[in-house]
């Protein structure tokens, strides 16, 4: 870990590294301003994720903004302000994001500090109300929206049809997850990691486990690594089916919605039959997995093949339905340049030609043993391209699960777990969730308890770029663009 003295030096170091080809992966803080907040930048390199620290002096609440030089830091600095009260000076727009509060409010959550406040209530009045332009008005959409959705408020600024500007206000369901990690044992921390972004439980569990395992200096047994892959890929299939279902719903294709809903149900039941939880919870443990799937590999493959065949038929039909495709083509376009500068993650990034899949670039668990999927693809950067990427990923996932179960058969009765002794220290772990790369920074103290755990979900990172994909799109395109991003608000506001 490189120690960088002061925020200005951190900015300089980060800018330099980004120019040499590394990717900005996030920014988080630790500790309370009274004792000095530590701001940590995360950089994804070609083989690792590196952490760069900058310690603010005790009592200091101001530091020079990074968002001017490093555009994707924009949201991260807003979140820093909400949680720690530190102000990025000269920030383009330091509006509240995940926890609006009055400027003088005290005490703030300050994850990583020795104590947490009892109660912090989001204060809506802290959010500036402004609309620019003649004849422009706002349409507040949420937090209670029509349909079964997670709570989030989109404030659409529009002169009537176009969407020149969109504000995302996700704070309503801020759950204070980061503070809850503190003082948990690493094993109980795993349970919470599975609930940070429930629809990607396995990916979060993996990223968390990888951080803890790295700290302990252990490698999981080969059989456990294979079981992890099987669960992670099934989770991916379920999430991509959810996106297809929501896109079809937006287009009003009732039968298609029913078909993908049926496939998704079958996928969740398959996961449930393998481990007892429809979301793959309780499978991953720091140091391995709890058990092999509760069905013979041949049986698992048979169910998988049936599932895959059903999906393929309906996916082909969907991609051959003109009334559906017309709504996706050219909708929610995210240019390659935008995606590259922002470091867009997961299928959203890949559809815009930013190929950084943690499974293959920084491989973990059993992925190095499996046949890699060639993923650099081009052709469109819109909602359509994102759906195509997802269909390709579903096919790939099926192939990967097949390979993994075949290897698992050969592994026979190998052990599934290594004993773990976690020394004090800090480590970073990652995994590729269906939404994109998930990062966990876990710091453990001498008693083996968690001192600070900072999850960074792809949902947060990608939601920041979501608002800038509305160029030329109109109100009725909104549900398509939202569904095509496939994000979870729970993971975005923590």
Please pick, from the candidates 3, 102, 114, 188, the single residue that binds another protein as defined by CB under 8 A.
188
Is 449 a residue that touches another protein (CB under 8 A)? Answer: no
Minimal distance, residue 457 CB to another protein, in Å: 11
327 binds another protein (CB under 8 A): no
Q: Is 350 in the site for another protein (CB under 8 A)?
A: no
330 touches another protein by CB under 8 A: no
Query: Residue with structure tokens 């989109």?
Result: 154
Nearest approach in angstroms of CB 411 to another protein is 22
Which one, 261 or 330, has the nearer CB to another protein?
261
Q: How far is the CB of 327 from another protein (least distance, A)?
A: 16
Choose between 109 and 380: whose C-beta lies nearer to another protein: 109
Which of 3-11, 85-93, 174-182, 475-483 is the region at the interface with another protein (rule: CB under 8 A)? 174-182
CB of 314 to another protein, least distance (A): 6
List all residues 6 or more positions away from 167 whose beta carbon is below 8 Å from its beta carbon.
154, 155, 157, 467
Tell me which residues in 58-117 interact with another protein (CB under 8 A).
99, 109, 116-117
Residue 153 near residue 141, CB atoms below 8 Å: yes
478-485 and 458-466 helices, crossing angle to 10°: 150
Answer yes or no: are the C-beta atoms of 397 and 233 closer than 8 Å: yes
Shortest Cβ distance from residue 198 to another protein (Å)?
Answer: 3
CA distance 254 to 251: 9
Return d(Cα 439, Cα 348) in angstroms, integer. Answer: 17
| In the complex, least distance from residue 85 CB atom to another protein, rounded to whole angstroms | 14
The distance of closest approach from Cβ of residue 454 to another protein in the complex, given in angstroms and rounded to an integer, is: 16
Beta bridge partners of 62: 87
Give the integer Cα–Cα distance in Å for 234 and 361.
20
Alpha-carbon distances, residue 3 vs 22, 48, 51, 234 (angstroms): 18, 17, 9, 39
488 touches 246 (CB < 8 A): no
Q: Which of 168, 230, 253, 385 contacts another protein by CB under 8 A?
A: 253
- Structure-block tokens of residue 93: 């727009």
Nearer to another protein, 314 or 356 (CB): 314
Number of residues that bind another protein (CB under 8 A): 66
56 contacts: CB under 8 Å, gap ≥ 6: 6, 7, 33, 36, 37, 38, 39, 63, 86
- Verify binding: residue 448, another protein, rule CB under 8 A: no
| Nearest residue (CB) to another protein, 276 versus 425 | 276
Per the document, the length of the chain is: 494
Show contacts with another protein in window 366-425 (CB under 8 A).
Answer: none
SS3 track for 116-143: CCCCCCCCHHHCCCCCCCCCCEEEEECC
Tell me, rounded to whole angstroms, the distance of Cα 479 from its chain centroid.
20
Cα end-to-end span (Å), the chain:
26
The contact mask relative to another protein for 130-169 (x = CB under 8 A, - = no) is -------------xxxxxxxxx------------------
Q: If binding is defined by CB under 8 A, does position 331 make contact with another protein?
A: no
Report, in Å, the least distance between residue 275 CB and another protein.
10
Minimum CB distance to another protein, residue 353 (Å):
28
3-state helix, strand, coil in the chain (%, to 5): 45, 15, 40
Measured from the CB atom, the residue of 264 and 402 that comes closer to another protein is 264
Write the burial class of residue 428 (CB in 10 Å: 0-12 exposed, 13-18 middle, 19+ buried): buried
Among 64, 272, 425, 479, binds another protein (CB under 8 A): 272
Between 98 and 220, CB nearer to another protein: 98
Q: Please report whether residue 491 would count as binding another protein according to CB under 8 A.
A: yes
Instruction: Report in angstroms the alpha-carbon separations of 84 from 81, 119, 286, 477, 492.
Output: 5, 15, 30, 36, 17
Q: Build a one-symbol-per-residue string for 195-224: x at contacts with another protein by CB under 8 A, - elsewhere.
A: xxxxx-x-----------------------
Nearer to another protein, 255 or 424 (CB): 255
Instruction: By CB under 8 A, name the binding residues for another protein.
Output: 99, 109, 116-122, 143-151, 171-177, 179-180, 184, 187-188, 191-192, 195-199, 201, 242, 253, 255-256, 258-259, 261-262, 264-265, 268-269, 272, 276-279, 281-282, 290, 313-314, 317, 321, 488-491
């Amino acid at each position: 870990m490189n120690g960088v003295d002061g925020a200005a030096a951190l900015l300089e170091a980060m800018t330099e590294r980004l120019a040499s080809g590394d990717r900005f992966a996030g920014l988080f803080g630790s500790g309370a301003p009274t004792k000095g907040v530590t701001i940590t930048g995360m950089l994804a390199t070609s083989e690792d994720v590196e952490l760069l620290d900058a310690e603010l002096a005790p009592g200091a609440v101001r530091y020079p903004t990074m968002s001017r030089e490093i555009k994707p830091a924009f949201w991260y600095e807003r979140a820093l302000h909400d949680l720690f009260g530190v102000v990025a000076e000269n920030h383009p727009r330091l509006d509240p994001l995940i926890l609006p509060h009055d400027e003088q409010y005290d005490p703030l959550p300050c994850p990583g500090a020795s104590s947490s406040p009892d109660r912090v209530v989001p204060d809506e009045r802290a959010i500036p109300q402004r609309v620019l332009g003649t004849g422009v008005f706002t349409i507040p959409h949420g937090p209670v929206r029509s349909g079964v959705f997670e709570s989030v408020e989109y404030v659409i600024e529009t002169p009537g049809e176009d969407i020149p500007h969109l504000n995302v206000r996700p704070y309503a369901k801020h759950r204070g997850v980061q503070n809850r990690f503190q003082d948990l044992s690493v094993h109980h921390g795993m349970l919470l990691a599975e609930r940070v972004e429930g629809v990607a439980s396995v990916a979060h569990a993996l990223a968390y486990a990888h951080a803890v395992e790295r700290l302990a200096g252990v490698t999981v047994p080969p059989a456990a690594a294979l079981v992890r892959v099987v669960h992670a890929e099934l989770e991916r299939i379920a999430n991509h089916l959810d996106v297809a279902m929501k896109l079809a719903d937006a287009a009003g294709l009732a039968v298609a919605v029913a078909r993908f809903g049926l496939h998704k149900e079958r996928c969740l039941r398959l996961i449930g039959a393998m481990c007892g939880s429809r979301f793959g919870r309780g499978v991953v443990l720091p140091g391995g997995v709890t058990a092999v799937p509760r069905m013979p590999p041949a049986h698992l493959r048979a169910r998988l093949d049936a599932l895959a065949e059903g999906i393929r038929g309906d996916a082909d039909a969907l991609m051959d339905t003109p009334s559906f495709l017309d709504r996706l083509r050219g909708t929610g376009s995210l240019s390659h340049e935008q995606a590259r500068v922002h470091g867009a993650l997961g299928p959203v990034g890949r559809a815009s030609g930013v190929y950084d899949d943690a499974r293959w670039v920084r491989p973990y668990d059993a992925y190095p043993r499996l046949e890699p999927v060639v993923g650099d693809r081009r052709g469109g950067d819109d909602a359509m391209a994102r759906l195509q990427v997802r269909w390709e990923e579903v096919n790939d996932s099926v192939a990967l699960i097949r390979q993994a179960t075949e290897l698992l058969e050969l592994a026979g009765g190998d052990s599934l777990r290594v004993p773990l002794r976690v020394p004090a220290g800090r480590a970073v772990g990652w995994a590729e969730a269906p939404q994109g790369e998930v990062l966990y920074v876990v710091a453990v103290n001498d008693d083996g308890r968690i001192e600070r755990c900072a999850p960074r979900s792809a949902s947060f990172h990608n939601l920041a770029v979501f608002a800038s994909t509305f160029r030329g799109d109109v109100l009725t395109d909104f549900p398509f663009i939202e569904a095509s991003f496939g994000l979870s608000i729970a993971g975005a506001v923590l």
